[in-house]
């Protein structure tokens, strides 16, 4: 099982509470956007201090983000896809992330089940990497309540793309500061 530290580093959306998620992918057939080159990422922001990751582009267009800090759980990673979304700034993208397990085996990561939770947020591409906004149910309720999506046990669960997309458009227009900064090498 993924450590809380890795989970907190990228997809801590459940552990930290307030995340926007879906039970299964809302974008299974969507084509992801290639935003970054393979390399190392330093993430700052949050409560844990700087975190380090290896970023690798996968054949399906997603990326694998694997923690490289000494205390990260071996074989645990995040699969993250970046998607274009009309109505948000041109340099901003929606992301969909899912946890991966046992990636250090010769056979690769465990298969992701269709109904496994997916986590959603926004990234703004910068000259040196990206700025990440992780939606929060309580703080960003103006973007969820119009659709009847309310926080339950620290999570806002969306069941359809139109709700998450409209919520992300509203969130992008708030001018909210990023929660995390990614520096790429």
**Sequential pLDDT tens for the chain (185 residues):** 333 343 334 433 333 446 899 999 999 999 999 999 999 999 999 887 899 999 999 999 999 999 999 888 877 899 999 999 999 999 999 999 999 988 788 887 888 899 999 999 999 999 999 999 999 888 898 888 887 888 888 889 999 999 999 999 999 999 899 999 999 99
pTM of the model: 0.87
Sort 111 into a burial class: Cβ within 10 Å, 0-12 / 13-18 / 19+.
exposed
- Name the phi and psi angles at 118, rounded to 5: -115, 140
Largest CA distance in the chain: 47
CA-wise closest residue to 167 among 108, 102, 85, 107: 85
CA distances from 138 to 52, 141, 167, 169 (A): 28, 5, 13, 17
Nearest CA among 118, 120, 115 for reference residue 95: 120
78 within 8 A of 97, measured Cβ to Cβ = yes
Cβ atoms of 122 and 132 closer than 8 Å: yes
């Amino acid at each position: 099982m993924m450590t809380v530290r890795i989970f907190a580093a990228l997809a801590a959306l459940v552990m930290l509470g307030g995340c926007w998620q879906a039970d299964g992918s809302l974008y299974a057939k969507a084509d992801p956007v290639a935003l970054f080159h393979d390399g190392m990422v330093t993430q700052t922001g949050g409560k844990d201090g700087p975190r380090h990751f290896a970023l690798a582009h996968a054949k399906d267009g997603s990326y694998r983000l694997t923690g490289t800090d000494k205390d990260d759980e071996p074989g645990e990673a995040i699969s993250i896809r970046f998607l274009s979304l009309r109505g948000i700034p041109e340099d901003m993208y929606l992301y969909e992330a899912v946890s991966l397990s046992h990636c250090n085996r010769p056979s690769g990561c465990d298969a992701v089940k269709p109904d496994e939770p997916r986590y959603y947020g926004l990234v703004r591409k910068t000259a040196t990497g990206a700025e990440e906004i992780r939606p929060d149910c309580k703080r960003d309720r103006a973007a969820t309540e119009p659709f009847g999506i309310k926080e339950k046990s620290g999570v806002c669960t969306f069941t359809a793309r139109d709700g998450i997309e409209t919520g992300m458009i509203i969130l992008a227009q708030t001018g909210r500061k990023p929660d995390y900064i990614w520096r790429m090498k």
